[in-house]
Structure 1
Amino acid sequence: MERKDPQTSKGKKERKVRKAGVRTGPKGEALVEISPALASLFRDFSDRSLEFSREVIERSGVAATTNNDHARLNIRIARTVFGKWSVEILTFLYSARVARFQELRKALGEISARVLSLKLARLEGLGFVHRAVIDTRPPGVEYSLTEKGREVAKLGEPVFLYLRLMEGSLNPTRR
């Protein structure tokens, strides 16, 4: 299919991508059917991401000596950054852009004020979250992602999109 770009009046090829579908399996379970074009997009993206990671490691000159070293470092980072509630906080702030403490607490559900306070302080200390005191009566505090926090959220977005797509969460017909 060809469409005209109203700004340039040049024709552009438009790639049709069939959406994910859901069919029912033999036991009544929902089986997600991903179009080959979508699956190919994610495969290409993951291949490019792997190449990018290898190039960054090579250029940085701080490559770990073994695969076990890489695994150990990744596990340490995952436990630190992506422990309980951290991903939820980062995700909410990525979507909301700015939130006050009670807004965050309400959005996250069962988190206690103490735990939320500790998690926000930890994420602030790691440079992911910015805390701004607002000059109001009573004084307020707003939280937002730092540039580092936004980059981490953007890097994680394709992973969440892929997982949602694979489980059928992007398909409104699935209940």
Structure 2
Amino acid sequence: MKNSKVNVADNEETSFGYTLSIINGKWKLLIIYYLSKSGAVRYNELQRMIGKITYKTLSTTLKEMVDDGIIHREEYPQIPPKVEYSLTEKGKTLWPIIQAMCQWGDFNK
């Protein structure tokens, strides 16, 4: 008899799997945290907030989050170019999850 268990973390069809697919990775929760605290932020400012993240990694992560509808990228037509990142309404709904994680950390550290 085959093992018929489904790994919900690997299955985006489950609510849990979908949520993990949106916030997975080393940097996404930090990006959501800083954008929640700061509002609209320019790329270099966000990179300074996060710290040890490479240009390529931040760029790739932001693109993924824009594609997922979590972050809004606003490009202003000026010289030099100005781009700001902020949370979408969908992205803002992740803030209570982060707050709960912070509370859990406060309670258990």
TM class, shorter-length: 0.7 to 0.9
Q: State the 1:160 CA deviation.
A: 1.9
TM-score when scaled to structure 2?
0.80
Q: Name the residue aligned to 2:50.
A: 108
Identity %, equivalent residues? 27
Structure-2 change in CA distance of 1:76 and 1:155 (3 Å): closer
Q: Which moved more, 1:76-85 or 1:131-140?
A: 76-85
| Aligned mates of 2:59, 2:53 — CA distance in 1 | 10
How many corresponding residue pairs?
102
Q: Please give the secondary structure, in 2, of the residue aligned with 1:68.
A: coil
Which one of the candidate residues 86, 94, 105 is aligned to 1:152? 94
Task: Could you list the structure 1 runs, at least 4 aligned residues long, displaced by more than 4 angstroms after superposition.
Answer: none
Structure 2 SS opposite 1:138: coil
Q: For 1:122-161, what aligned pairs fall within 5 Å after superposition?
A: 122-161=64-103
CA contact (8 A) 2:36 2:87 kept: yes
Pick closer, same or farther for the CA change 1:151–1:76 going to 2, 3 Å: closer
Stretches of structure 2 that go unaligned for 5 or more consecutive residues are none
Contact 2:66 2:73 in 1 (8 A): yes
Give the root-mean-square deviation of aligned CA atoms. 2.2
- TM-score, structure 1 as length reference: 0.52
